[in-house]
Every structure is written in structure tokens, then in C-alpha cells.
């Protein structure tokens, strides 16, 4: 497995591989890899990628001033071993300094889908996500890139960015991976105490049989969680919908103690 730290090195290698006809898949991550990330690598393998590039970068630009950028868990050695075992062929560990040169002044802003949900509560978050993902696309030259459904709004925004900016890249969205308890896998689950973990189970339970957003919010509050939002939206446009019905997505953000957790459920037709 190749290990790249310099953006230019990854870019030169991936350019050559693309010219040689390789189908490159990109799996963008912030590291501290868990089964959810491994499932993205598996999805890339299944789709016949010749090269699977996993990027591991805690992107400072997508964190707000009072968020967990410093505290976000990091473990480079474990990530290396997990990528190797899962069959990734390259891993990219850039630094903030080599991703954002002095006077970096160009950002990508999606102006519609980012307005609500996490975008409303985390100003600038999706600007940071779109910017870093666009940079990673230019560095890794992927034919397709795999994102997790857990970050539902993010996946929709990236699809829109790809459409609107004519990136020649297919966006693959891979299902949420859950712990046996139902809790959606997340690197942030490591922040949870045992008690908070138990309270957090209310999220997947409520989403398993969603009746109304008010009922879900009540279930979360009675489990001791602090609701940030529970919303039902059109699964594609993310416009608010009154009723939970086929073609909608129910999204939840809630705090267990200080940890903000997100989850969602798409209501299939």
C-alpha cells in the first residue's frame, strides 16, 4: 500500500495510474477508522476499483470555533493497518499546512441544500467539506468516490457539487453501518460514557419505526438526549415535508452529554 503525505505526490501518482487506465476510487475520511469506513472500502472493491485511495484528514476548515477539532480522535498507525487489511492500495495523510497554503482564499459554497439541518446549526461546515472534497478530487483523480449515508446531507451536497461543477466523478453512497445495539458507527462514539451510549440507542430505536418528528423528539428527550433537530425532508431536495412518507428522509441530530450524534432513515417507496 502506498503512503502519501504530500498532495503533489498523490496527484502525480494518481495522474499516472489514470493515464494507464486504472479505475481509481476515493474514500475520503477523517480517520480513526471503524467498520463504517471499512464498508466504504469494501464498496469500492465491489465496484471493481483498481486503486482505492483512502484519505485521512481532520479538515480544520469544516469545524466551527467551538467544535471538537483539537479533540477529534486520531490514530495514524491503526488507520494504516486497517486500510491495509481492508485492501486499500493507497492512503493519504496530508497536514493542514500542506492542504491549505498561506493565503488560501478559494472555497466552494453550496447555497441550497446546505441551508437547513446541520448546515443551519454548523455555519461554514459544508463550505469546508465541499472545499476539501473538491481538493481531494483534484489530487486523487477518482472515477468514483464513496461516502457514507450516515452523513446524509453531506452526501446530497457532494452530489450537487459534482453535478453543478461538472466533476467527472460518480458519487456512491454506502449504507449506514450500525453496532449490534443499533447505534450508528461514528468516530465520535468514543466520546460516549456507557450511560450516554445507552441513552443514544433511543435514536436508532426511534428511527426504526418513525411515526412523526414530534414523537421521535419526545422519545429522544425522554431517554435523556438533547434534541438539536428532528426533521422530515424530501430525500433529494432536502425540502421540509410534513409527513413521513415514501421518498422522504427523517434526520436526527441530538446530544448525548456533550457529544453531538447524527442518524437518519430514508423511507423507501
| Residues tagged active-site | 37
Q: Which is nearer to ligand PAF, 49 or 161 (CB)?
A: 161
Task: Yes or no: say if 38 and 54 are a contact pair by the CB < 8 Å rule.
Answer: no
Pairwise CA distance, residues 119 & 154, whole Å? 9
- Residue 27: helix, strand or coil by DSSP? strand
Strand partners, 144: 25, 170
Q: Which is nearer to ligand PAF, 155 or 220 (CB)?
A: 155
Instruction: Please report how close the Cβ of residue 57 comes to ligand PAF at its closest, in angstroms.
Output: 6
Residue least distant from ligand PAF (Cβ): 28
Q: Is residue 115 packed enough to be buried (19+ CB in 10 Å), middle (13-18) or exposed (0-12)?
A: exposed
Stretch that binds ligand PAF, among 129-137, 193-201, 217-225, 253-261 (CB under 6 A): 129-137
Q: Which of 133, 139, 202, 250 binds ligand PAF (CB under 6 A)?
A: 133
What residues numbered 156-175 form the site for ligand PAF, per CB under 6 A?
A: none
Pairwise CA distance, residues 218 & 24, whole Å? 45
- Residue 140: helix, strand or coil by DSSP? helix
Stretch that binds ligand PAF, among 115-123, 125-133, 169-177, 216-224 (CB under 6 A): 125-133
Interface with ligand PAF, residue 230, by CB under 6 A? no
CA–chain centroid gap for 79, Å, is: 16
Instruction: Please report how close the Cβ of residue 108 comes to ligand PAF at its closest, in angstroms.
Output: 12
Pairing status of strand 226-234 against strand 90-92: unpaired
Q: Which is nearer to ligand PAF, 68 or 198 (CB)?
A: 68
Stretch that binds ligand PAF, among 40-48, 127-135, 205-213, 244-252 (CB under 6 A): 127-135
Q: Which of 14, 39, 62, 264 binds ligand PAF (CB under 6 A)?
A: 62
Tell me the site size for ligand PAF, rule CB under 6 A.
10
- DSSP secondary structure letter of residue 165: T
Pairwise CA distance, residues 218 & 79, whole Å? 38
Instruction: Please report how close the Cβ of residue 126 comes to ligand PAF at its closest, in angstroms.
Output: 9
Residue of 179, 178, 173, 182 lying closest to 153 (CA atoms): 173
Task: Yes or no: say if 185 and 178 are a contact pair by the CB < 8 Å rule.
Answer: yes
Q: Which of 129, 161, 177, 200 binds ligand PAF (CB under 6 A)?
A: 129
- Interface ranges with ligand PAF (CB under 6 A): 28-30, 59, 62, 129, 132-133, 151, 154
Amino acid at each position: 500500500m502506498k503512503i502519501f503525505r504530500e498532495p503533489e505526490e498523490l496527484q502525480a501518482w494518481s495522474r499516472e495510474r489514470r493515464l494507464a487506465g486504472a479505475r481509481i476510487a476515493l474514500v475520503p475520511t477523517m480517520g480513526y477508522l471503524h467498520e463504517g469506513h471499512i464498508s466504504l472500502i469494501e464498496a469500492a472493491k465491489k465496484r471493481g476499483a483498481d486503486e482505492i485511495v483512502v484519505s485521512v484528514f481532520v479538515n480544520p476548515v469544516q469545524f466551527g470555533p467551538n467544535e471538537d477539532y483539537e479533540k477529534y480522535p486520531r490514530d495514524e498507525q491503526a488507520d494504516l493497518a486497517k486500510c491495509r487489511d481492508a485492501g486499500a492500495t493507497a492512503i493519504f495523510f496530508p497536514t493542514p499546512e500542506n492542504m491549505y497554503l498561506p493565503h488560501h482564499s478559494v472555497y466552494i459554497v453550496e447555497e441550497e441544500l446546505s441551508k437547513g439541518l446541520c448546515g443551519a446549526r454548523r455555519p461554514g461546515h459544508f463550505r469546508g467539506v465541499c472545499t476539501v472534497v473538491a481538493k481531494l478530487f483534484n489530487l486523487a483523480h477518482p472515477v468514483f468516490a464513496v461516502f457514507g449515508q450516515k452523513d446524509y446531507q453531506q452526501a446530497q451536497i457532494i452530489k450537487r457539487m459534482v453535478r453543478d461543477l461538472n466533476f467527472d466523478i460518480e458519487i456512491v453512497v454506502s449504507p449506514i453501518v450500525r453496532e449490534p445495539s443499533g447505534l450508528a458507527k461514528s468516530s465520535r462514539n468514543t466520546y460516549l460514557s456507557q450511560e450516554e451510549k445507552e441513552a443514544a440507542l433511543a435514536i436508532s430505536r426511534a428511527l426504526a419505526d418513525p411515526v412523526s418528528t414530534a414523537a421521535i423528539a419526545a422519545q429522544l428527550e425522554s431517554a435523556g438526549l438533547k434534541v438539536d433537530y428532528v426533521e422530515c425532508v424530501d430525500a433529494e431536495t432536502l425540502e421540509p415535508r410534513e409527513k413521513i412518507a415514501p421518498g422522504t428522509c427523517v434526520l436526527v441530530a441530538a446530544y448525548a452529554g456533550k457529544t453531538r450524534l447524527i442518524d437518519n432513515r430514508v423511507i423507501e417507496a
